[in-house]
Amino acid sequence: MPTPLCADGKLRPTYEDIHKLIDRSAAYIKADFDPDLMVLISGGGLIPGRIMRSFLKRPSELDPTRLRNIPTQAIGLSLYEEVAGMVEGSIGKSVTRTQWISEKALLGHKDPSKKVEEGKDAGGLVGKKILIVDEVDDSRTTLQYAYQELYNDVRQALSSMSEQERAAVPATKFACFVVHNKRNIKKGKLPILNENNHIAGDGAAPANNNQPVERIENGIVEGIRYYAGEDTENEWIAYPWESEDITEHNRLAADARKKAGQK
Ligand code: 5GP
């Protein structure tokens, strides 16, 4: 069921709506990509990523009868918010890093023969299936930046390895998940592998589910898998975690649902 428009022209998904969208999307992502780790774009991607983590658990290597969370990293990017020291006019036009994955963590896999203690390789991107998470893909500027920078970090880490070390790690793969994708003309560019079959519309699996062809270039699968919980038009989405009055947020959301004839 698509998120209905509120009387003021905004979309107001509730926590429950978002939780359910992520639940459905995660089932598909688990089967299609099964990420080794997540990189959450702060702050919008933090709550969706935390919810997603509950659905992407894997059997523990130490005790396969138990499920464990996959490692999660956060990166801070700012596009719309004012950042101290930023020149006026550049706000909203460029992306600024406010937090990043530490170099040490990135190079945690430099020696692949050393078994990294379980749960202690949260920052190791090399050789992993990485799921980047944000709440909304609007102009795509943020996602383009996050993907490019993470890709470059992995490339750099791989280039500092010996040929033998590189051969011992699997290809690094990228995917991204957003709760909402706005159907608009994207300023940012992403080399999407599954362009016409990303999940959307209630997190349902796409009709055309052909596996994208993966081309490995210097130890990295070229391109990125793209998943969206729901495609929306260009309306502003008011997220529950931004609300100062959650009761009112839920009331407006319920009104919109009623008007749209949804339960
Ligand atoms: P993009 O780089 O795709 O234009 O925008 C990404 C960021 O802009 C999001 O992570 C989010 O913080 C903000 N943003 C864009 N559109 C919306 C929206 O409709 N609602 C909210 N709450 N934030 C938005």
Q: What residues does ligand 1 touch, defined as CB less than 6 Å away? A: 44, 79-80, 134-142, 236-237, 239, 242
pLDDT tens, position by position, 182-202: 999 999 999 999 876 556 545
pLDDT tens, position by position, 62-83: 899 999 999 999 999 887 555 5
> pTM for this one?
0.88
The helix-helix angle for 46-55 and 15-32 (nearest 10°) equals 50
Protein residue with its CA nearest to atom 4 in ligand 1: 139
CA of 138 relative to ligand 1 center, distance in Å: 6
Domain 14-230 has CATH 3.40.50.2020: yes
User: Distance between the two ends of the chain, CA-based, in angstroms?
Assistant: 10
pLDDT average, residue stretch 143-165 = 91
Atom of ligand 1 nearest to the CA of 77: 10
- Residues 6 or more apart whose Cβ sits within 8 Å of residue 150: 39, 75, 101, 125, 130, 132, 174
Q: Where are the domains of the chain?
A: 14-230
**Residue 165 has what pLDDT?**
86
Atom of ligand 1 nearest to the CA of 142: 2
Which residues belong to the active site?
138
Q: How confident is the model at residue 56 (pLDDT cuts 50, 70, 90)?
A: very high
